[in-house]
Structure 1
Amino acid sequence: MVNITIKKVTLNDIDQLQKIGRQTFKETFSESNSEENMKSYLEVGFSNEKLTEELTDRNSDFYFATVDNEVIGYLKLNFGDSQTELKDNKSLEIERIYVSKEFHGKSVGQLLYDKAIQVAKLNDSEYVWLGVWEENLRAIRFYKKNGFVEFDKHIFKLGNEEQTDIMMKLKL
């Protein structure tokens, strides 16, 4: 049994965050998207400027999942005005849960998810919500298993392509 640790990410961890962010996004979506769109999203979405801005935002939190100090996944949470939509002070958004491919099916995502719920409860959130790509069936099954229900859809732009995200929420 591997010993997985969840720890809060700080600005000092920006290089590791950039690395795991790019790696896991690529592993998850490169087969379904053009190389050009992926390249541009990875450059902009995980640039030092963008990550610095996100890491210094008091309404966003990042957490790493690590094994022997190696980062194997991460979680990004948003509160209040930092949420990508809704912006409800009574809610918490799980913007990202990504786990490196070799650790899929080893409960890493569940540990990161449990951390998100713990943080939501500590902040007296009434519900947790998220958007998940309609073709990411693995993630949709995971969230449904954890009690989330669909409530809306929205468009996510990846390069020049528009994709539909299913919005899901869980009442706490």
Structure 2
Amino acid sequence: MERITIHKAILNDIEQLQKIGRETFSETFSSSNTEENMKQYLDQGFSIDKLTDEINNENSEFHLALSETTVVGYLKINFGASQTELKDEKALEIERIYVSKEFHGKGVGQILYEKAIEIAKEKNSDYIWLGVWEENARAISFYKKNGFVEFDKHIFRLGDDEQTDIMMALKLG
């Protein structure tokens, strides 16, 4: 099995982060969305300005998964006020875990997920939560396998399309 290393993204990593972000989001969602909506989201969501703000935000972290020197996936987590919804000081949000298609099934997502758990425990979080698109069966089953339970739903906007995310949580400790 290939050795995967994880490192916390810094500003020097921004171009690699932008590339893996756009690539994995496209691989995951382009078949289910219009080209215009995808382009708009990729341009805005992964702009250098937005990523710079997010990397500089003390309540958000990106962690890159590398196979040798190639970035093959990433994790984005949020704490406190940076969480997209709950904003609970005792919670950690996994906003994104994305892995390049060619690395699916190789344990990269699990390694990134375990990194999130480790950080949540370091921060004494009571629980971890996330939103996952209701049609992303692969991700839902991954989180269920890891003990997450559904607790709510919310709307995620992709361009002019409103989609439903299932909100899931895992209690720690």
TM-score (norm 1): 1.00
Partner of 1:158: 158
Alignment of 1:31-70 (within 5 A): 31-70=31-70
Counterparts of 1:123 and 1:12 in 2: how far apart (Å)?
Answer: 25
Partner of 2:167: 167
- Paired residues, what number? 172
Partner of 1:105: 105
Partner of 1:138: 138
Counterparts of 1:122 and 1:46 in 2: how far apart (Å)?
Answer: 28
Q: Secondary structure at the match of 1:85?
A: coil
Counterparts of 2:11 and 2:144 in 1: how far apart (Å)?
Answer: 33
Partner of 1:30: 30
The answer to whether residue 129 in structure 2 is matched with residue 129 in structure 1 is: yes
Alignment of 1:52-91 (within 5 A): 52-91=52-91
Q: Deviations over 1:4-39 (max 9, x none)?
A: 001110011000000000000000000000000000
Residue 69 of structure 1: how far off its partner (Å):
1.0
Q: Secondary structure at the match of 1:87?
A: coil
Partner of 2:117: 117
Identity percentage of aligned residues: 72
The answer to whether residue 8 in structure 2 is matched with residue 8 in structure 1 is: yes
Residue 74 of structure 1: how far off its partner (Å):
0.1
Q: Deviations over 1:75-119 (max 9, x none)?
A: 000000000000000000000000000000000000000000000
Q: Secondary structure at the match of 1:55?
A: helix
Counterparts of 2:13 and 2:138 in 1: how far apart (Å)?
Answer: 28
Counterparts of 1:107 and 1:156 in 2: how far apart (Å)?
Answer: 27
Residue 67 of structure 1: how far off its partner (Å):
0.6
TM-score (norm 2): 0.99
Could you tell me which amino acid in structure 1 is paired with residue 116 of structure 2? A
| RMSD of Structure 2 on Structure 1 (CA) | 0.3
Could you tell me which amino acid in structure 2 is paired with residue 61 of structure 1? E
Q: Deviations over 1:112-139 (max 9, x none)?
A: 0000000000000000000000000000
Q: Secondary structure at the match of 2:74?
A: strand
Counterparts of 1:83 and 1:163 in 2: how far apart (Å)?
Answer: 19
List alignment gaps of at least 5 residues for structure 2: none
Counterparts of 1:50 and 1:169 in 2: how far apart (Å)?
Answer: 27
Q: Secondary structure at the match of 2:92?
A: strand
Counterparts of 1:68 and 1:153 in 2: how far apart (Å)?
Answer: 38
Could you tell me which amino acid in structure 1 is paired with residue 71 of structure 2? V
List alignment gaps of at least 5 residues for structure 1: none
